[in-house]
Amino acid sequence: MQEQLESKILRVTEFVSANDLAALMDVSVNEVIKTCMNLGMFVSINQRLDAEAITIIADEFGYEIQFATTEDEENLGAEEEDAEEDLQPRAPIVTIMGHVDHGKTSLLDYIRRTKVTAGEAGGITQHIGAYQVTTDAGKDITFLDTPGHEAFTAMRARGAKVTDVVIIVVAADDSVMPQTKEALNHAQAAGSPIVIAINKVDKPTANPDKIREELAQLNVLVEEWGGKYQSQEISAKTGQGIDELLEKVLLEAELLELRANPDRRAVGTVIEAALDKGRGYVATVLVQTGTLKIGDILVAGSHYGRVKAMTDVLGRRHKAAGPSMPIQVLGIDGAPQAGDKFVVMETEREAREIAVSRQQLQREQNMRTKKHITLDEIGRRLAIGTFKELNVIVRGDVDGSVEALSDSLLKLSTEEVQVNILSKGVGQISESDVLLASASDAIIIGFQVRPSANARKLAEQEQIDIRLYSIIYNAINEVKDAMEGMLAPTVQEVVVANVEVREVFKITKVGTIAGCMVTDGTITRNSKIRLVRDGIVVHSGEILALKRFKDDAAEVRQGYECGISIKNFNDLQQGDIIEAYEEREVKRTL
């Protein structure tokens, strides 16, 4: 009984994807998604679930969840209580959310008086940026700019976890889009106050009232309409209404009475991590309490290191970073995941032990969720008949983009073509990636990264396909095209000609010959034919001979007469219609 009970306990780390959870419980991912739907949660295959969702879903399938944490981590979780007199006011952390192209980054640009979008590929923000600005009144505000593209749901879900106030940007010349709703859901789930910014009001097609109406339908009533949500009409181009927007944000922040103790060991969240060619792994972190200093030993996720240098967004060096300050940190031994918590430890030994035990946990979980091929699976593939697999290795410049891209690619899987992500990570494409690709027939997708010289040579020798992209849409579309190519083409019949039998001649030793008139199209000698009598197909077959007068003809066009004899069929009658058709292969789409 003890064993049975234990088999019903799953050990997982937080942020397991729906797919992995299904694999652990040994049920199909569709069942998990169906259960979520019944519970009113909309999840996609690869969406990472939070602790609450994992517990509820597992409970539905009769499993108990144990969140795998090490003893050291248990101790980390016991937050030091700060004495009331040590707490000092801190700057609010504000996340800007909303749909693609509604003007989030342009709003930030205006606030920061810089140009971020100019440097983004295709004008889409693909990283989470964090910036601290000082308003005209001398108050500091920290801004997080989360990407709008749907692939970054996981990053945005994490973005809403660290923020105090959320600004949701909606374009006045557009409408409330699915991602706007999603952003509202994330913000409401995190319990953050929301300020609505109605952007692009300077456009002639702008209609702010329509936006307010659509928001009201979602139970988000703005103050002008007697609700509790503050809203402000702004224009990120001209700057209209932006000062008022910042005032409203500061007002919301004042109500929250945000305070932190700067005189303690720093705790915070990793916003982004990347591999920089000259500097090694760079993590952008947001200090939430305490002060991070150079020389501190920190643990973030399954990585640790000693802080060697700290720079802000503009590249200026800092010796210390206080609460609510975003800062880039050098010295961590790997790229932690966006959303991981970081904690400053006393000794390097402690930090190393925690990082190693977390790595072990992660490895265990990966091993348990890897599905090897079973007889059932082989049977399923045989039943489908033409099951194909597309193996992919993903490498990117920053962790968030790698996550987002692999999520989007996995969503492309269909019954016939499955996308498998063999490995994903931050950094340039190395020789080991090419060897893995060659061993498992995979393609390598690089997002904003390039292969090393040796990897490129090896890829040419092994004939491995390396695709490099800088815009996430392009990568997804090309993989989709590749998968459409893997789908077996469908064969379609195209009628090329209709021929009417006007006269029938029976000739000894030859058989029956039909004297015909081509009423439309062009009939060729190789066409397959059907004989239609009174709308019913009497015979399907091939042409034996096609003649014009006494000569053989390769083709006869509309309006001309010809003689036709049909292979192994003589029962021709006056008034029959001969339908000529070709079989053409048509490329299938997903």
Comparing CA positions, the residue from 272, 519, 244 lying closest to residue 397 is 272
Plot region of 226 (φ>0 → left; ψ -120 to 50 → alpha; else → beta): left
Residue 422 forms part of a structural domain: yes
Q: Are 297 and 347 in contact (CB under 8 A)?
A: yes
Question: What's residue 503's pLDDT?
Answer: 92
The sign one gets for the Cα dihedral 43, 49, 53, 57 is: positive
85 domain-assigned: no
> Are residue 8 and residue 141 in the same domain, yes or no?
no
CATH number for the domain including 279? 2.40.30.10
Same domain, 383 and 511: no
pLDDT at residue 562, rounded to an integer:
92
- Res 3: pLDDT: 67
Nearest-angstrom CA–CA distance, 380 and 373:
11
Domain that holds residue 516: 490-586
Cα–Cα distance, 45 to 28 (Å, whole number):
11
Q: Tell me, what CATH number does 126's domain have? A: 3.40.50.300
453 with 496, same domain? no
Q: Please check whether residues 358 and 465 belong to one and the same domain.
A: no
Q: Measured between alpha carbons, how far is 465 from 74 in angstroms, rounded to an integer?
A: 45
Q: For residue 453, give the CATH number of its domain.
A: 3.40.50.10050
- Tell which residue, 313, 379, 323, 383, has the closest CA to residue 127: 313
DSSP string, 305-364: EEEEEEE-TT--EESEE-TT-EEEEEEESS-PPTT-EEEEES-HHHHHHHHHHHHHHHHH
| 301/426 same-domain check | no
Length of the chain: 590
Q: Which residue, 546, 525, 527, 522, is CA-closest to 584?
A: 527
| Domain termination site, one of 331, 350, 366 | 366
The two tokens of residue 430 are: 């190395």
Whether residues 223 and 306 share a domain: the answer is no
DSSP β-bridge partners for residue 534: none
Q: Is residue 80 a part of any domain in this protein?
A: no
Contact 216, 225 (CB under 8 A): yes
**Does a structural domain hold residue 375?**
yes
pLDDT score at 392 = 87
Is 327 part of any domain?
yes
Q: Final residue of a domain: which of 464, 486, 508? A: 486
Show the low-confidence residues of the chain (pLDDT under 50). Answer: 70-74, 77-78, 114-126, 149-152, 160
Closest C-alpha among 274, 392, 290 to residue 337: 274
Distance CA 466, CA 484 (A): 19
Q: Which amino acid would we find at residue 96? A: I
For residue 562, which phi and psi values (nearest 5 degrees)? -160, 170
Strand partners, 94: 143, 165
| Per-residue confidence (pLDDT) for residue 120, from 0 to 100 | 46
Distance, CA of 388 to CA of 487 (rounded, Å) = 8
* Long-range pairs of 498-502 with CB within 8 A, sequence gap ≥ 24: 498/577, 498/578, 498/579, 498/580, 499/523, 499/562, 499/564, 499/577, 499/578, 499/579, 499/580, 500/575, 500/576, 500/577, 500/578, 501/572, 501/573, 501/574, 501/575, 501/576, 501/577, 501/578, 502/561, 502/574
* 561 and 538 in a common domain: yes
Half-sphere exposure of 480 (CA within 13 A, CB side): 12
Do 288 and 327 belong to one domain?
yes
The whole-number pLDDT of residue 34 equals: 86
Asked whether residue 86 is assigned to any structural domain, the reply reads no
Tell whether 515 is covered by a domain: yes
Indicate the helix (H) or strand (E) that contains 159: helix 153-162
Task: Looking at the structure, tell me whether residues 157 and 234 fall in a common domain.
Answer: yes
Instruction: Find the angle CA(170)-CA(171)-CA(173) to the nearest 5 degrees.
Output: 145
CB of 112 within 8 A of CB of 77?
A: no
Count how many domains the chain has. Answer: 5
Q: Are residues 248 and 125 in the same domain?
A: yes
Q: Do both 569 and 453 map to the same domain?
A: no
Residue 275 lies in a domain: yes
324/327 Cα distance (integer angstroms): 10
Domain end position, chosen among 14, 34, 68? 68
- Residues 432, 384, single domain; the answer is yes
Q: Are 566 and 544 in contact (CB under 8 A)?
A: yes
Written as six digits, the tokens of 189 are: 């789930």
Q: Which two tokens stand for residue 145?
A: 């700019």
